[in-house]
Structures are given as structure tokens and as C-alpha cells.
Amino acid sequence: MNNKYEVKEKMILIDFLEKVLKKSHKDAKKLLTNKQILVNNKINSKYNTQLNVGDTIIINNFNTNNMDSKVEILYEDKDIIVVNKPAGLLTIATENEKEKTLYHLVSDYTKKSNKNNKVFIIHRLDKETSGIVIFAKNEKIKKLYQNNWDDLVLYRGYTAVLDGILPKYRGKIIQYLKENRDSFKVYVTDKNNGKKAVTLYKVLKENDKYTLVDIEIQTGRKNQIRVAFSSMGYPILGDQKYGSTDKSLKRLALHAYKLTLINPVNKKKMDFEIKVPDEFYRKVK
């Protein structure tokens, strides 16, 4: 069970833990180091974070150290687990791969506290994409999220490095997409044959070879972002499936860094945000 507190006066985070919650300096530092402190529903490990009146502090009492070292737990409560999926790891099993998946790692983690525990996938990311993924701890919660996903999700943010220089600094890409069942590639078609995909972007930085973009998707189609930029002639760096020949990053340069949604149980807003990989910034120095 997580403990939630409201800030009554301005102070820094470490002082709140020590003076208000009566934690020892050692225990306070441990909570921060283990990323067990959430400030306004975001993990915060900086001891000198300035707190304001009305801010909420949550101590995540679940053990975040039992997961495979490749997977970071961002948040956990009795209903869901939110994790940061690394690039190159399948979200769920396929015919060719049953065990090396994010689902398998999260499932193993939950079974360490109770062998009868189960997890259920709510949404997924491509194998090559890193970022925020949410799992449910029971089927009822899974259905609550999945059946109302479009209404619950308020914002889906991604960052990508593109192969090339975009002609415009911001834009809105509206396409209709369909998957080729033989090649498993998604392609652009017309509104009578495809599903509508809406992708917004703005340029964050560029050099003479690459462009770093911030992306918001307003629909969740398969390979939506990858197809959007590839079809414009600026594939995501490392995306060999959709036209990039540059292998210098040794991964797909696409990261799901932000997810804001409404908790269907208590109707409160949840805002998850994680750091963009440093290697993305290094490509556009």
C-alpha cells in the first residue's frame, strides 16, 4: 500500500521526508535513491526539489529492486505497474519468441511476492521502441483501461531522431494506414481502406544531418510515427524497416517519454514522464 501526503508549507523534499515524515537522513536518501518518492505523481529522486503548498508526496512501498536490471519500475500500486521498456525487447510474446519479453519480466517480478500473481498487458510499444508501458494486475483493471483507452488517455509524448533535416519546425501529419499482412509493414492508403492516424511534431534541435523532434500522437496506430516520418522522406534513425540506412546509433531512435491519462478507478489524473536517452541528444549536438 502506498502512503500519500499533502505538503502544508514550502520546503525542499529531503526536509519534508526528515522533518514532516520523521524519516532518518539515511532512510530518506534510500527512498530517493530507490526512486520510491513521487511528487505530484512523478518519480523524483532529487533531494533539493522545491515543494509548494498543495503538492502531493507518495511513498511507493513496493520493492522496485526485484526487477531485471534492464527494466525500471516507474510506479506501482495495487492495480497497475508502470515500467520503462528498453529498446530491443518485445512487449509480449510472438510465435518466435516466448520468454524474452517485457511481459515475462514483469510477470516474474510480481510472482516473487506471490506465485499466484498475474499481470495483463494494457497497451504495447514496438520491440525497437523504448519508453512507458502499463500493465494491469488483474483482468478487471485491464478491461477498464483497454475498453476506455481513447477516452482515458490525455497525452502520448514521444521523442525521435530523424535521418535528415525537416523543412518545417512544426506540423500535423494526417494519414490513413493499413498493414500488409505478408510483409507486416504499415503503409499509407486512403480513408476508405485505412485507419486514421494523427501525428503532431515540433523540432527541438537539429544539425547538418539529423533532427530531434518532440511528437504527440492523437491516435494509436501500429507503427504510426515510423510511417509518418518515413513517408515524408525523413525516417527515424535506425529504422531499417522503414527506410533508414544509418546504423550509427545501434537502435531505433524512438522513445515514449510521456503518458498522461485518467485513472478509471478513482478518476484522478496520472502523469508519467521519463528522461529522453542521452544518446538522442548526442546525435544532434
Pick the last residue of a domain from 89, 115, 147: 147
Report the pLDDT value the prediction gives residue 42, as an integer from 0 to 100: 81
Tell me if 29 is assigned to some domain: yes
Per the CB < 8 A criterion, the answer to whether 166 and 203 are in contact is: yes
pLDDT > 60? residue 2: no
Per the CB < 8 A criterion, the answer to whether 104 and 90 are in contact is: no
Q: How far is CA 215 from the centre of its chain?
A: 13
pLDDT > 60? residue 221: yes
The CATH number assigned to the domain holding 39 equals: 3.10.290.10
Residues 127 and 73 in one domain: yes
What percentage of the chain carries pLDDT values higher than 90?
A: 75
Tell me if 168 is assigned to some domain: yes
Residues 1 and 81 in one domain: no
Label the pairing between strands 56-59 and 37-39. antiparallel
Residues 99 and 174 in one domain: no
Tell me if 127 is assigned to some domain: yes
Residues 160 and 250 in one domain: yes
Question: 34-51 pLDDT, tens per residue?
Answer: 778 889 878 888 999 999
Residues 84 and 55 in one domain: no
Tell me if 171 is assigned to some domain: yes
Tell me if 269 is assigned to some domain: no
Regarding predicted confidence, which is higher, 221 or 65? 221
Question: 89-139 pLDDT, tens per residue?
Answer: 999 877 666 568 999 999 988 888 888 999 999 999 999 999 999 999 999
Mean pLDDT, the chain, rounded, equals 91
Q: How far is CA 245 from the centre of its chain?
A: 26
Residues 118 and 181 in one domain: no
Regarding predicted confidence, which is higher, 99 or 189? 189
Q: Is 223 left (phi over 0), alpha (psi -120 to 50) or beta?
A: left
Pick the last residue of a domain from 39, 61, 83: 61
Tell me if 284 is assigned to some domain: no
Per the CB < 8 A criterion, the answer to whether 12 and 49 are in contact is: yes
Question: 45-86 pLDDT, tens per residue?
Answer: 899 999 999 999 988 765 444 455 567 888 888 999 999 999
- Gap between the Cα atoms of 114 and 117, Å rounded: 6
Of the candidates 236, 190, 199, 235, the residue with the CA atom closest to the CA atom of residue 219: 199
Tell me if 225 is assigned to some domain: yes
Residues 104 and 24 in one domain: no
The CATH number assigned to the domain holding 80 equals: 3.30.2350.10
- Set of cell numbers at residue 189: 492508403
Residues 224 and 241 in one domain: yes
User: What is the four-CA torsion angle of 142, 99, 226, 147, rounded to 10 degrees?
Assistant: -10
Q: In which domain, by residue range, is 100 found?
A: 63-147
Three-state DSSP class for residue 99:
coil
Report the pLDDT value the prediction gives residue 65, as an integer from 0 to 100: 47
Residues 193 and 249 in one domain: yes
pLDDT > 60? residue 186: yes
Label the pairing between strands 130-136 and 254-262. parallel
Pick the last residue of a domain from 102, 119, 147: 147
Number of domains in the chain: 3
Question: 222-270 pLDDT, tens per residue?
Answer: 999 999 999 999 999 999 999 999 999 999 999 999 999 999 999 999 9
Q: How far is CA 264 from the centre of its chain?
A: 19
Residues 56 and 79 in one domain: no
pLDDT > 60? residue 200: yes
Report the pLDDT value the prediction gives residue 33, as an integer from 0 to 100: 84
Tell me if 73 is assigned to some domain: yes
Per the CB < 8 A criterion, the answer to whether 212 and 234 are in contact is: no
Report the pLDDT value the prediction gives residue 1, as an integer from 0 to 100: 45
Residues 167 and 248 in one domain: yes
Q: For residue 204, give every residue at least 6 positions away whose Cβ sits within 8 Å of its Cβ, in sequence order, or none.
A: 159, 212, 213, 214
Residues 218 and 205 in one domain: yes
